[in-house]
Every structure is written in structure tokens, then in C-alpha cells.
Amino acid sequence: MFYQAIDILGTVAFAISGVLVAMEKKLDLFGVLIIAFVTAIGGGTLRDLLIGNTPVVWMRDLTYVFTILITVVFGILFVNQLKYLRRSLFLFDTIGIGLYTMVGLEKGLQAELSPIMCIALGTMTASFGGVIRDILCNEIPVIFRKEIYATACILGGASYFLFTQFPIQESYAYIAAILVVITLRLVAVRFGISLPNIYRNED
């Protein structure tokens, strides 16, 4: 129940970020729905296909579909209340990657994969919905830019395995790792921390 609640919260966060991007691009209602949908389930779908968990989870459990539909309606109705559009998008996207990193990691643990593969699945789950969203909206995906994005997912996933070495409940380690991802992303953007640019400035 705890893990499903985290999954649903991540679905809501990413669906809202999809709605915000789609409305910023002035897409029609169908476009908004599609962008919200692929943002929310894109990474999880790829993850499930890779580990052979088919039919993928949102096809077996319509809770996710209904959650996205309700979130889209909510996002459209209250978009004017979500002031500072880009700031709202950043916030929901950041919350989403924190939650989905651990959802993906947990799926890897259930599949009895190595910690490295679990972290990779978590990063994929958190990142690839946004990648698909940005590509469909004609943007360069954040994960391919200098910003700390996938790196936060990787470090957050690794921190989970570190926290489990301490005498605390597994759920606390889970929540702590989510907070690590969110905090790293927030701090990186707040202080302009980014990965080094491999291209030299040309005159």
C-alpha cells in the first residue's frame, strides 16, 4: 500500500507537469491529455517492458488511467491558480522524479536485480516520461542538457542502499532517498550547479 501510494503521487506530479507543458504550448484538449499521459507513464512503461512485467502496470490497474484523467481535469480547471508557470512545472517535475526514482528502484528489487540495475531502472522510470514529453513538445529533454537531473536520480537511488545499512525501517530509508533526489535537484537549480560543458567556446 505504501509503495502504491508513492507511485500514485508520482503519477499525479508528472501528469500535472505534462499538463503545464502542453498548455504552455497551447495544445488542444486531446494534446494536453496525451502529453500528461506519456509524461506520467512513459518511464514506467519502458521499465516494465525491460523487466518483462507485461501487460504493463497501467494496463492491468486502471487506477493509474483514472488518476491521470482526474489530474488533467484538475490541471486545466486550476491552471490560472498555478502561478509562475515555469516554477510550478519545475516543482512538480522535481517531485515526480524523486517519487518515480524509488518506484523504479523498488521494481528492480522485486525482480531481484543488482543494486546498479535497480538504480538504472529508477533513473529510467523518473526520466523517460519527461524525455518523451519534451520530444513531443519540440524541446531538448532536460536529461540531455547540463542540468542536474538524472544525476540526482542516480545519487538518490544509491543513497537508498546506503540508508538500508542503518538500523532504520525500510520505509524511512525509502522516504529519505526520495528527499535526497528532490533536495539535490532543488539545490542544483538554486545555486546553478550543473555538469561540466564538454564543448569549448568558439570565437
Tally of structural domains, the chain: 1
Whether 198 is in a domain gets the answer: no
Rounded to 10 degrees, the C-alpha dihedral 189/190/192/196 comes to -40
The whole-angstrom separation of Cα 177 and Cα 155 is 9
Q: Is the pLDDT higher at 62 or at 88? A: 62
Q: Taking the model in full, what pTM does it have?
A: 0.88
Range of the domain at 131: 2-190
Q: Is the pLDDT at 39 greater than 80, yes or no?
A: yes
Task: State the average pLDDT over residues 89-100.
Answer: 89
Q: Is residue 199 part of a domain?
A: no
